[in-house]
Structure 1
């Protein structure tokens, strides 16, 4: 699963990366410890122009038919092999696909006893990347509509499997447009939901402080020594 990630890239960097005019972006700051139920930027196609746009959404998908928003606590991730069949995700898969910008995601490995060692996974190039996501708009009986998202997961690559049995789906930049394009709703591009090449990624140990969602600072991504060989 993917339950925490970091996005240190500035708005200027992400505007250039996704080909969006920065003046059209909602304001958001970098985060080094994005957690479920937090509000994060996502990239989708504008319904009128068909061009990429940024939107702020809550992490934890709430389908349009939900009775309340509590379902979002259990929908932060969607398994790629199940997403087309599960009612909570299948309508979004047809026409509401999005990108979730990130620079790293975190996973924990048991290090003996109750100790868990957190690791970060990023690109060898140091560039930002994007998770494959789905988004929804839910309208409560009272109040403003809620837009939310989920991150798709798949089998781990050779790097991620050293720590966890799942990893988020990371899309190559040349696949961004195809993933977001509504195209034929009966044939969503599920072939893109595969492990990202391990040779393009790197893994490093990070501070235990990342386990506390109240900690959100650049030092969380600083590489830390590992006391014992865990791999």
Structure 2
């Protein structure tokens, strides 16, 4: 599962990295959570950023509020599931990020938050699919979800799934409406552990309302709990 991620880069950095224009302002985000409105790049508009809600209402379930949602789909079966296969074929997107969070359970009540990044904290993209639907008021809404896959050796220590991180060289093909299913599925493997790193962060990330630069800074176990033995 991927239930929280960060996008701490500036508008200019994102436009340069993804070669797409972002109309309007953008403030860096340090604790993105489901139901929030965040930037994506879609197969319909690959030269610009769109702002969609994280959490898809399946296209077979019309007129449901955003709160009744999915946030992830398994990459292994996304092309087969009735709720996702149409989006997989025609409505794919890049979800820009520069890190994601998972929680390691220690004991019965304690969960320790970790942040996972690539390289020196460079921006990258999750593989996503998007949907358009009408809510109960007849308003058109756009939503997306993030595909997940088997974890690599770094993520495996914390969680049994991880988001699909696309290679930069695959991003254009992921958005290309003419890409074949076989080619698309081949992009959805596990990202190599050698290019990733992880570290513990503040418990403040547990609260969705917290969204500031301190959330992505490395925090030692002693700072969080006053006890290093939790990591023994």
TM-score normalised to structure 2 length: 0.91
The 5 Å alignment of 1:40-189 reads 40-46=38-44, 51-70=46-65, 73-140=68-135, 142-184=137-179, 187=182, 189=184
| Post-superposition offset of 1:124 | 2.2
Q: 1:86 & 1:161 partners in 2: Cα distance? A: 25
Contact 2:35 2:66 in 1 (8 A): no
Contact 1:46 1:52 in 2 (8 A): no
Backbone CA RMSD of aligned residues: 1.8
Specify the alignment match of 2:225 in structure 1.
none
Listed one character per residue, the Cα deviations across residues 108-154 of structure 1 (whole Å, up to 9, x for unaligned) are 00122301000000012221111000001112363320000000000
Question: May I ask how many residue pairs the two structures share in their alignment?
Answer: 226
Deviates more, 1:89-98 or 1:186-195: 186-195
Contact 2:29 2:211 in 1 (8 A): yes
Contact 2:91 2:129 in 1 (8 A): yes
SS of alignment partner, residue 20 of structure 2: coil
Listed one character per residue, the Cα deviations across residues 33-63 of structure 1 (whole Å, up to 9, x for unaligned) are 111111111011345xxx4221100000123
Q: 2:205 & 2:120 partners in 1: Cα distance? A: 23
Structure 2 residue 17 is the aligned partner of structure 1 residue 17: yes
Question: Which ranges of structure 1 fall in alignment gaps of 5 or more residues?
Answer: none
Contact 1:110 1:116 in 2 (8 A): yes
Q: 1:206 & 1:73 partners in 2: Cα distance? A: 30
SS of alignment partner, residue 122 of structure 2: coil
The 5 Å alignment of 1:18-37 reads 18-22=18-22, 25-37=23-35
Question: Which ranges of structure 2 fall in alignment gaps of 5 or more residues?
Answer: 222-227
Q: 1:140 & 1:114 partners in 2: Cα distance? A: 38
Contact 1:36 1:59 in 2 (8 A): yes
Structure 2 residue 204 is the aligned partner of structure 1 residue 209: yes
Listed one character per residue, the Cα deviations across residues 39-95 of structure 1 (whole Å, up to 9, x for unaligned) are 111011345xxx422110000012333223347644100011121111111000001
Listed one character per residue, the Cα deviations across residues 163-218 of structure 1 (whole Å, up to 9, x for unaligned) are 00000000111110011101156556111111111111110000011111011110
TM-score normalised to structure 1 length: 0.91
Contact 1:129 1:170 in 2 (8 A): yes
Q: 1:111 & 1:10 partners in 2: Cα distance? A: 35
Using a 3 Å threshold, how does the CA distance of structure 1 residues 73 and 139 change in structure 2: closer, same or farther?
closer
